[in-house]
Amino acid sequence: MDPLRRQITDPSAERLLQAFLLFQEIDRELPVQVVLTFLYVAARDRCHKPALEQDLGLTTASGSRNTDWLTKHHRLNKPGLDLITKEVDPTNKRRTILRLTPKGEALIKRLNSLLDGSS
C-alpha cells in the first residue's frame, strides 16, 4: 500500500501555507478578504480606510465589514479578533485611521518569522 504523499517540494509555498494556517487558528471561517485587509493594514499601519478600500477594490460596506471583523467588536454584537483599531482622523473627521493593536503586531511578527523561514 502506498503511503499518502506529503513530501514538501517547495519550501516557500510551504511557509505560505503555514502562514494561512495561522489565520485559520485565529478564526476557522476567516474569509481571504479579511486576511487581505489585515495584511494591508499591517503593511501600512495608520492608513486611511478609504485608501484600503480603493487599493483592495472594496466597497465602503465591504471595507467596513472586513475592518469590523478585525477590531474588538464584530458585527451583530459578536466579539472581533482585536487585531486592528479604527480611529477618527483628527485632521478630517470623515476619515478613519486603521492601526494594529498589540495583538495584531504580535501576529504580523509571527507571520514574518514563518515567511522568513526562521520559525
Q: Is the Cβ–Cβ distance between 84 and 67 less than 8 Å?
A: yes
Instruction: Output the domain CATH number for residue 30.
Output: 1.10.10.10
Q: Within a domain: residue 3?
A: no
Q: Locate 17 and state its grid cell.
A: 501555507
pLDDT at 12: 92
Whether the predicted pLDDT of 5 surpasses 90: no
Could you list the residue range(s) of the whole structural domain that residue 23 is in? 12-116
Q: Cell numbers 504580535 label which residue?
A: 106
Q: Within a domain: residue 4?
A: no
How many domains, in total, are found in the chain? 1
Alpha-carbon distance values, 44 to 49, 67, 78, 98, 101 (Å): 11, 14, 26, 9, 13
Kindly state the average pLDDT of the residues 34-46. 97
Nearest to 62 by CA among 81, 75, 44: 75
Q: Is the Cβ–Cβ distance between 93 and 48 less than 8 Å?
A: no
Whether the predicted pLDDT of 62 surpasses 70: yes
Tens digit of pLDDT for each residue in 90-104?
A: 999 999 999 999 999
Q: Within a domain: residue 102?
A: yes
Interatomic CA distance for residues 107 and 102, integer angstroms: 9
Whether the predicted pLDDT of 1 surpasses 70: no
Q: Is the Cβ–Cβ distance between 80 and 37 less than 8 Å?
A: no
Kindly state the average pLDDT of the residues 41-70. 97
Q: Within a domain: residue 19?
A: yes
Q: Within a domain: residue 2?
A: no
Q: How many CB atoms lie within 10 A of CB 15?
A: 18
